[in-house]
């Protein structure tokens, strides 16, 4: 069931594990709700809107390129990658999404998903019908503002990736990005698991898998980090950030 197309999925609704007022603390919208002092009725409306779906397992397709766009989803657990397959059969990874981040926003224009979304491990989602959350956004300015912000941020991310950077810079920026996003959610900033394959990283950074291997090896040799299979420890965050700096702060 869990590899049916996401929009048509007859959702496997999970037991509700958040009460109406605290809502999911990992949700991308929680900050908007709390910081804007959203009133209880608005919060309740948002809470009614959400469907908890999952679990998806590694390799499951959450939605497919070409599916009609109906919903966006906040990741509650696990990692999601979005990717396109071009007509030459090459995979282009567009992004990785960690808990608290929202996937599917690029489908608004065109009314169809422009890419596949694939679970990299066990994934739980909060699904929001886009027509419904749009209507809610007209009544709750905090929701609208958060949607605008999330969309705008994705433009910035895609733009960073588009620059012509060296392989060292790309890998460094990728590691710093993961470090910051994970630490923002309470995980360690210096030691974490790469939940994606080398090939996924390579297709995301527009490098060959061999190049990713070589760069990581080189960084380990000069003492920047230690990498063992999919486990990474960043030893010299300052120098890695310096490498990534032209990308992350252009």
Q: Is 41 in the site for a second copy (CB under 8 A)?
A: no
Inter-residue contact 13 to 4 (CB < 8 Å) = no
168 contact choice in a second copy, DNA, none (CB below 5 to 8 Å, kind-dependent): DNA
Stretch that binds a second copy, among 108-116, 117-125, 189-197, 227-235 (CB under 8 A): 108-116
Q: How many residues bind a second copy, per CB under 8 A?
A: 43
CA-wise closest residue to 167 among 210, 136, 211: 211
Q: Does 160 bind DNA (CB under 7 A)?
A: no
CA–CA gap between residue 118 and residue 61 (Å, rounded): 5
The binder of a second copy chosen from 162, 228, 229, 238 (CB under 8 A): 162
**Distances 67 to 4, 84, 102 between C-alpha atoms, Å:** 11, 13, 18
Q: Which does 245 bind (CB under 5 to 8 A by kind): a second copy, DNA, none?
A: a second copy
| CA-wise closest residue to 91 among 205, 248, 185 | 205
* Interaction partner, residue 216 (DNA, a second copy, none; CB < 5-8 Å by kind): DNA
Q: If we measure between CA atoms, which residue out of 244, 250, 170, 157 comes closest to residue 206?
A: 170
Contact call for residues 85 and 46 (beta carbons, < 8 A): no
**Closest CB 247 distance from a second copy, rounded Å:** 8
Counts of helices then strands in the chain (DSSP H, E) = 8, 11
Does 120 bind DNA (CB under 7 A)? Our answer is no
Binding of a second copy at residue 211 (CB under 8 A)? no
| Residue of 57, 83, 132, 206 interacting with DNA (CB under 7 A) | 206
Residue 198 interacts with DNA (CB under 7 A)? yes
**Least distance in angstroms from the C-beta of 109 to a second copy:** 4
Residue 86 interacts with, from a second copy, DNA, none (CB under 5-8 Å by kind): a second copy
DSSP state of 112: B
| Candidate residues 164, 228, 229, 238; the one interacting with a second copy per rule CB under 8 A | 164
User: Residue 80's beta-bridge partner residues?
Assistant: 97, 119
Residue from 51, 154, 168, 236 in contact with a second copy (CB under 8 A): 154
**Helix 130-139 / helix 40-49 crossing angle, nearest 10 deg:** 170
Distance, in Å, from the CA atom of 23 to the CA atom of 166, rounded to the nearest integer, reads 42
Contacts 24+ apart (CB under 8 A), 179-183: 179/234, 179/237, 181/98, 181/101, 182/98
- Contacts with DNA by CB under 7 A lie at 164, 166-168, 197-199, 206-214, 216-217, 227, 229-230
- Contacts with a second copy by CB under 8 A lie at 84-88, 92, 94, 105-110, 114, 134-135, 137-139, 141, 144-145, 147-156, 158-159, 161-164, 206, 245-246, 249-250
């Amino acid at each position: 069931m869990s590899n049916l197309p996401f929009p048509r999925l007859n959702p496997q609704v999970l037991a509700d594990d958040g009460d109406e007022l605290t809502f999911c603390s990992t949700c991308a919208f929680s900050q908007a709700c709390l910081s804007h002092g959203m009133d209880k009725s608005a919060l309740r409306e948002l809470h009614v809107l959400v469907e908890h779906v999952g679990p998806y397992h590694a390799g499951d397709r959450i939605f497919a390129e070409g599916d009609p766009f109906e919903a966006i989803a906040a990741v509650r657990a696990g990692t999601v990658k979005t990717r396109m397959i071009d007509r030459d059969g090459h995979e282009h990874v567009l992004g990785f999404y960690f808990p608290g981040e929202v996937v599917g926003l690029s489908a608004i224009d065109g009314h169809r998903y422009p890419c596949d979304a694939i679970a990299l491990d066990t994934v739980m989602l909060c699904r929001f019908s886009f027509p419904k959350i749009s209507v809610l956004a007209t009544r709750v300015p905090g929701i609208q503002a958060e949607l605008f912000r999330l969309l705008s941020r994705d433009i910035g991310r895609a733009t960073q990736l588009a620059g012509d950077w060296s392989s060292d810079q790309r890998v460094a920026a990728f590691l710093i990005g993961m470090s910051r996003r994970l630490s923002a959610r309470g995980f360690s900033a210096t030691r974490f698991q790469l939940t994606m394959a080398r090939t996924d990283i390579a297709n995301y950074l527009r490098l060959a898998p061999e190049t990713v291997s070589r760069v990581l090896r080189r960084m380990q040799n000069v003492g920047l980090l230690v990498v063992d299979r999919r486990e990474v420890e960043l030893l010299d965050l300052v120098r890695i950030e310096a490498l990534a700096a032209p990308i992350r702060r252009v």
